[in-house]
Amino acid sequence: MIRLEKRPTPSRFWTAATPVLAVIATMVAGGLMFAALGKDPLEAIRTIFWDPLFHPQFAGYSRPQLLVKAGPLILIAIGLSLGFRAGVWNIGAEGQYIIGAICGAAVGLAFYPAAGWYIFPLMVIAGALGGFVWAMIPGILRTRFNTSEILVSLLLVYVAQALLASVALGVLRNPQGGGFPGSRNLAQYPAAANLELIPGTGMHWGVVAAFIAVIASFVLLQRHILGFNIRLSGQAPRAARFAGVSPTALVLTCLGVSGVLAGMAGLFEAAGPSGKISIDFASGYGFTAIIVAFLGRLNPVGILLAGLLMALTYIGGELAQFMLGLPKASIQAFQGMLLFFLLALDLTSNYRLRLAKREVA
């Protein structure tokens, strides 16, 4: 008989080993899934994890894309991790990402075709404010009416998607687009374009912002009183209240920061890799960033590595679809397995598995 025994304190070894074991378990389970689909599992795993980085035919394109895909994932996950550490569960970063893109793109298009250095900074500010306002809706409802920020933030994603379709077909639609939905291509508007800073590397302002967010959050958690309050509230809520930490201020701060970073990620994507506001602009980055945050153990450095790994599965997944004919749904299931195995194996951090004799009634 197997019995779970609570550890006095979480195991440092298993806390560090769990993400690695989760990746290995995902490869094994994913290989079995690919085999069930009639594909060679070893070839599929190699195509996803190895070929984008080292295959001479694909590496030249895939390596820059690694930063392009990882940038928004890391930026959003950093914001989410602060809230998750404090017990504030923002599940609607996808909606904040969309609203940030809409607001930032709207500012850029409002100046079209003017040229000025101030246009892109104003777009970034607008994107951040859009994400902030959208995150404040569940924040205010949580602090004033004790509603669940999980449900409110998640439901607001669908409202944001409806607004995205509305503006793509309406106020932001390209007047020279022949009636097709979608805005002007911001990547072709120099004053509003988020272009590569170093050609051929994939490095743009969104990637720079992601690295800055990693450093800032690390310093915040390790050296600032706000970081201490965030960690204390998540680990010992009653102790945090006795220490004078305001739950209202903490909820609004965590949701506000995550909304700002998600909104900025949306703007950087709309002005760069995506290039425009369209009906299908929502790419699921806001939901995937939840996996990145937990895979990185809510640690800034871990999130950086997890974001790069998840970006690799995006690129390798697209390559596997093209080269091996794997369905898109199987790649999405493969990515979801990471979170599943991480949460399952996370049990070992807080519990020991003990063998015990079955007791006779």
pTM: 0.92
Quick check: 291 and 313 in contact, CB under 8 A? no
pLDDT in tens, the chain (361 residues): 677 888 888 888 888 888 889 999 999 999 999 999 999 999 999 999 999 988 888 888 888 899 999 999 999 999 999 999 999 999 999 999 999 999 999 999 999 988 899 999 999 999 999 999 999 999 999 999 999 999 999 999 999 999 999 999 999 999 888 778 899 999 888 899 998 998 888 899 999 999 999 999 999 999 999 999 999 998 888 888 888 889 999 999 999 999 999 999 999 999 988 889 999 898 889 999 999 999 999 999 999 999 999 999 999 999 999 899 999 899 889 988 988 898 888 888 888 878 766 666 5
Question: 2 in helix, strand or coil?
Answer: strand
The domain segmentation of the chain, as residue ranges, is 59-325
Quick check: 113 and 130 in contact, CB under 8 A? no
Instruction: State the Cα angle at 47 between 42 and 52, rounded to 5°.
Output: 150
Report which DSSP code applies to 231.
H
> 59-325 adopts what CATH topology?
ABC transporter involved in vitamin B12 uptake, BtuC (1.10.3470)
Q: Is the preceding omega at residue 113 within 30 degrees of 0, hence cis?
A: yes
Quick check: 236 and 250 in contact, CB under 8 A? no
Query: 207: which 2 tokens?
Result: 């990637």
Quick check: 111 and 234 in contact, CB under 8 A? no
Element (H, E) at 65: helix 59-86
- Rounded to whole angstroms, the Cα distance separating 294 from 81 reads 8
